[in-house]
């Protein structure tokens, strides 16, 4: 307990998260945001992961990352239309989650990178073929299962890996993503058009995100130059990711009016993270890690 109170980093993180939650509550009360599109719930889940990873052990934190993947994947599979005979493939998809988390916390990067695109993507079609009763719709089913696995385990796994290398980097990314989302909500409600609001939200969020990144760069061991670059890259990738996932959501029938637990709450909350976390992890691995004197 003393460790937590004495740590200025954790205190700052708590303060930042409290401020973000308050903004979120104000947004909900003013009617700009749906009750279920609330970020305050899930950022505190991330806060818990970071806290455990920093103070207890990363092994335990990996379990919580695994649960997040499981819940997201379960929501995705509840919403899609799969054939009953595909259940072996779906169970196989669920089983890749613990493997991913194991490779993350043992720092086996190569295996982490190939587990899903190589082994899961080879085994799941095999499982679907074993359970298959009709040949119609097999390719569709395999595609759906693989896609869900890729988005909700592989992409979130990158964030988990980032938090394994550098928890403050992951926390920085998360705060940036939440700030961007909130700014986007405010701007969308003020400025109507799609392109207009997209450009506006990029322009307004870049200085804020650069500022946040710079202010925590000391803890992330992030050089100033890279902090500025990340400040420019993160909002751009979030916009691309948001655009894509929203298109997929519209096919799945996730709309802000009918969000319910099990009907898109988790997918809608974490959608901005999905594209940005692999990009930031690889940026970190390529440009920053190993090039620093310490870390």
Partner 1 sequence: MISLKTLIHITILRPVVKLIFGINIYGREHLKGTDSYVLIANHNSHLDILLLYYILPVKQLRKTHVVAAEEYFSKSRVFYKLINYLFSPVWVRRDDPERKKNAMLRIRSVLENGENIILFPEGTRGEPGEIQPFKTGIGRLAEEYKNIPIIPVFLHGPERVLPKRYFLPMPIWNNIFISPPQLFSEKSPEITRILEKTINEISRTKQVIHHKRHRNILKIPSTVTILGIDGSGKSTISRKIAEKLSEKSTVALITDNLEFYEGGKLRELQPLVTEKVRGIVGKYAKQAKSLKMYKFPKLTEMLLRDFLMDECRKWYSPDMIILDGCPLLNLVSWAILYKEEEFNEELCLKALKILSSRDQDISRDDRIFNVFPELRSMTKLKLNRLKLPESVFLLDVDPSIAFRRIESRGEQRQVHENIDKLSKLRDAYLTTMKVVSRKMGVTAKTIDGCGTMAEILTEILEIIKSSNTEKKCFDS
Binding site for partner 1 (CB under 8 A): 70-71, 74-75, 77-82, 84, 87-88, 90-91, 94, 132-137, 140, 251-253, 258, 260-263
Compute the Cα dihedral for 253, 258, 263, 265 and give only its sign.
Answer: positive
| For partner 1, the closer CB: 73 or 178 | 73
Question: H or E element: which one contains 250?
Answer: helix 224-252
Burial annotation 255-291 (CB, 10 A radius, 16+ → b, else e): eeeebeeebbbbbbbbbbbbbbbbbbbebbeeebeee
- What are the structure tokens assigned to 46, written together? 């991330």
Minimum CB separation from partner 1 for residue 174, in Å?
24
Min dist. Cβ of residue 84 to partner 1 (A): 6
* 6 versus 251: smaller Cβ distance to partner 1: 251
Residue 89 vs 231, nearer CB to partner 1: 89
Task: Give min distance, CB of 37 to partner 1, in A.
Answer: 17
Closest to partner 1 by CB, 87 vs 289, is: 87
Is the CB of 6 or the CB of 81 nearer to partner 1? 81
- Cβ closest to partner 1, residue 13 vs residue 127: 127
Q: What is the dihedral angle through the alpha carbons of 183, 185, 187, 192, rounded to the nearest 10 degrees?
A: 160
Shortest Å, Cβ 133 to partner 1:
6
Of 136, 124, 133, whose CA–CA distance to 91 is shortest? 124
How far, CA to CA in Å, does 127 sit from each of 85, 132, 242? 10, 8, 32
The CA distance from 230 to 284, in Å, is: 10
CB of 96 to partner 1, least distance (A): 14
CB of 52 to partner 1, least distance (A): 18
DSSP assignment, residue 284? I
């Amino acid at each position: 307990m003393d460790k937590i109170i004495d740590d200025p980093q954790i205190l700052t993180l708590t303060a930042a998260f409290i401020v973000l939650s308050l903004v979120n509550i104000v947004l909900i009360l003013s009617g700009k945001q749906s009750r279920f599109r609330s970020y305050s719930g899930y950022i505190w889940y991330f806060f818990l992961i970071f806290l455990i990873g920093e103070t207890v052990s990363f092994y335990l934190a990996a379990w919580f990352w695994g649960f997040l993947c499981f819940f997201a994947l379960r929501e995705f599979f509840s919403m899609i239309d799969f054939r009953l005979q595909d259940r072996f493939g779906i169970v196989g998809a669920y089983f890749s989650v613990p493997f991913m988390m194991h490779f993350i916390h043992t720092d086996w990067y190569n295996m982490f990178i190939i587990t899903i695109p190589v082994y899961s993507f080879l085994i799941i079609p095999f499982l679907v073929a074993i359970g298959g009763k009709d040949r119609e719709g097999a390719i569709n089913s395999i595609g759906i299962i693989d896609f869900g696995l890729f988005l909700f385990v592989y992409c979130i796994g990158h964030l988990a890996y980032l938090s394994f290398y550098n928890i403050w980097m992951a926390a920085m990314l998360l705060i940036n993503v939440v700030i961007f989302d909130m700014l986007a909500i405010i701007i969308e409600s003020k400025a109507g058009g799609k392109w207009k609001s997209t450009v506006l939200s990029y322009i307004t969020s870049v200085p804020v995100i650069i500022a946040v990144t710079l202010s925590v760069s000391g803890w992330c061991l992030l050089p100033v130059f890279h902090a500025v670059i990340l400040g420019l890259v993160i909002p751009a990738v979030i916009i691309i990711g948001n655009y894509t996932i929203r298109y997929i959501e519209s096919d799945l029938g996730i709309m802000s009016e009918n969000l319910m637990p099990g009907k898109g709450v988790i997918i809608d909350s974490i959608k901005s993270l999905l594209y940005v976390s692999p990009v930031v992890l690889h940026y970190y691995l390529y440009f920053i890690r190993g090039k620093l004197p310490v870390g």
